[in-house]
Amino acid sequence: MLRFALALCLTVAASAVSAIEIKEVTSAGGINAWVVEEPSIPFAALEIRMRGGASLDLPGKRGATNLMMALIEEGSGEMDARAFQTKLDALAASLSFRASDDTMSISARFLSENRDEVLALLRQALTQPRFDQDAIDRVRAQVLSGIASDAKSPNSIARSYFDQAAFGDHPYGSSPDGTVESVNSLTQQDMFDAARNALTRKDIYVSAVGDITAQEIGGLLDDLLGDLPADGPDAPADVAFGLAGGVTVIPYDTPQAVALFGHAGIKRNDDDFFAAYILNEVLGGSGFESRLMNEVREKRGLTYGIGSYLVPKFQAEMWIGQVASGNETIAQAIDVIRAVWTDLATNGMTQAELDSIKTYLTGAYPLRFDGNAEIADIMVGMQMIGLPTDYVTNRNDYLAAVTLDDVNRVAAQYLRPDDLRFVVVGQPVGLESTD
């Protein structure tokens, strides 16, 4: 009965995906958008992304973009932070603003009856931010608290060292949150400068899903975004992954060591990306079914969890993993990880593994499309990496086309066990830095 229910769920979800019709629109002002019309529920989701993100921080101002985005909803126009939030609550809407290494993300969720008022409020937030000093001081304290917490977290310590060693002075080499020193030095003028620098129409991507039409969206976007600067700074140049193979031990008083490990990866637009994606699922991406989980946890009990991840950033790409183990067992866990990496690179995977992971990936994909907000998020992500509108319906065909020869060729080319760098935070027994 359970198997039947699951099969029915997947069938319904797959049907929902196949029914998605994405319409491409270009506004009179030149803003492109993808729209999925779904008028059955009086609700819509709007997603806006801008290229650059925290990578656009000005010299000496690390953390400015992140702090600025956290302040956008802290008052605008004649409204202070309290008045802005009260108005938003009264409209039963939500707005969110986030900065990452590569993107600025703006999300809006609203009822159809309140759409115009919500978008007017969002427009005001983007074009007339206040950046009141009391709001800056309050949100700055929150950011500093997070930085202080990260400084005590073994996982964050490992990630900070890994990124800095891999990417150096490139923005990828430091946290978008900034440092205690850089965040403390940020001024109100820095916030206005960061907004002018990052909130532009230069590389903007928009999606809308729900009770909104393709005919309406153009005028709405021109009104919402038309007053933003048309141009802005270029994103930083590409950067090569700069860490060689080996081990770095960072002493830290903790009963359990953590290790972040990895090497250079593969670009998202590479013809072999789908094969690499499947390969990673078998390596460490598919939970309990992965080789790393089977060898490190199930067979040897060296960890509660381990995983591997493809990380194709816009200016660099990595293939990384993470594991936690006791100080007495982390050295053994690392040996097993290297062995799994080596075996997969040398001998490849089996047809049975390929068939099994294809079944899982194709079955699970439709389940991502479980709401307007989720669909809008997927669509704007597709735009940013240059995927066509029919990718939603054809994605599983791309996976199905990957052969065992494809995957094993990619394994031999991209899995490089000798290049694995392990950054270990803890008090590992029998493990020392190699440099």
Using DSSP's 3-state secondary structure scheme, residue 183 falls into: helix
What's the rounded Cα separation, in Å, for the pair 174 and 63?
10
What does the pLDDT read at residue 288?
Answer: 84
Q: Say if 321 falls within a structural domain.
A: yes
Q: Is the pLDDT of residue 219 over 70?
A: yes
Tell me which residue has tokens 């001024």: 187
**88 and 171 housed in the same domain:** yes
pTM (2 d.p.): 0.92
Using DSSP's 3-state secondary structure scheme, residue 315 falls into: coil
20 pLDDT band, cuts 50/70/90, is confident
Q: Say if 28 falls within a structural domain.
A: yes
60 CA to centre of own chain: 25
- Which of 190, 225, 260 represents a domain boundary (last residue)? 225
What mean pLDDT value characterizes the chain?
A: 93
Q: Rounded to the nearest 10 degrees, how much is the dihedral formed by the CA atoms of 414, 417, 419, 421?
A: 120
Q: Residue 287 corresponds to which tokens in the numbers above?
A: 């939970």
Q: Is the pLDDT of residue 152 over 50?
A: yes
- Per residue, the 3-state secondary structure of 78-109, as one string, reads CEEHHHHHHHHHHCCCEEEEEECCCEEEEEEE
Exposed e or buried b per residue across 73-105, where buried means at least 16 C-beta atoms within 10 angstroms of its C-beta = bbbbeebbbeebeeebeebebebebebbbbbbb
Q: Is the pLDDT of residue 19 over 90?
A: no
Q: Say if 260 falls within a structural domain.
A: yes
What does the pLDDT read at residue 10?
Answer: 42
> Which residues span the domain enclosing 152?
21-225
**220 and 250 housed in the same domain:** no
Dump pLDDT digits (tens) for 222-231.
Answer: 999 999 999 9
What does the pLDDT read at residue 231?
Answer: 92
**262 and 205 housed in the same domain:** no
**326 and 281 housed in the same domain:** yes
What does the pLDDT read at residue 65?
Answer: 97
What does the pLDDT read at residue 16?
Answer: 53
Q: Residue 406 corresponds to which tokens in the numbers above?
A: 């494809």
Q: How many separate domains does the chain show?
A: 2
**189 and 317 housed in the same domain:** no
CA distances from 361 to 194, 264, 357, 413 (A): 40, 24, 6, 23
Number of H helices, E strands in the chain: 16, 13
Q: Is the pLDDT of residue 263 over 80?
A: yes
Average pLDDT, stretch 179-200?
A: 96
**184 and 293 housed in the same domain:** no
**151 and 267 housed in the same domain:** no
More confident residue, 6 or 235: 235
What does the pLDDT read at residue 17?
Answer: 61
239 CA to centre of own chain: 18
**405 and 329 housed in the same domain:** yes
What does the pLDDT read at residue 15?
Answer: 46
What's the rounded Cα separation, in Å, for the pair 96 and 108?
7
Q: Say if 16 falls within a structural domain.
A: no
Q: Say if 359 falls within a structural domain.
A: yes
Average pLDDT, stretch 161-178?
A: 97
The one-character DSSP state at 298 is I
**208 and 289 housed in the same domain:** no
What does the pLDDT read at residue 2?
Answer: 36
Exposed e or buried b per residue across 139-172, where buried means at least 16 C-beta atoms within 10 angstroms of its C-beta = bbeebbeebeeeeeebebbbbbbbbbbbbeebbb
Q: Say if 127 falls within a structural domain.
A: yes
What's the rounded Cα separation, in Å, for the pair 94 and 127?
18
418 CA to centre of own chain: 28
Q: Say if 299 falls within a structural domain.
A: yes
**110 and 157 housed in the same domain:** yes
**149 and 205 housed in the same domain:** yes
Dump pLDDT digits (tens) for 279-327.
Answer: 999 999 988 889 999 999 999 999 999 999 999 999 999 999 999 999 9
- Which of 225, 260, 293 represents a domain boundary (last residue)? 225
Q: Say if 5 falls within a structural domain.
A: no
CATH of the domain at 124: 3.30.830.10
The one-character DSSP state at 234 is P
| DSSP output for 348-382 | ---HHHHHHHHHHHHHHGGGG--SHHHHHHHHHHH
Of 341, 230, 224, nearest to 282 by C-alpha is 341
What does the pLDDT read at residue 18?
Answer: 57
Exposed, middle or buried, 251 (CB in 10 Å: 0-12/13-18/19+)? exposed
Using DSSP's 3-state secondary structure scheme, residue 422 falls into: strand
Dump pLDDT digits (tens) for 366-419.
Answer: 998 989 999 999 999 999 999 999 999 999 999 999 999 999 999 999 999 999
**85 and 170 housed in the same domain:** yes
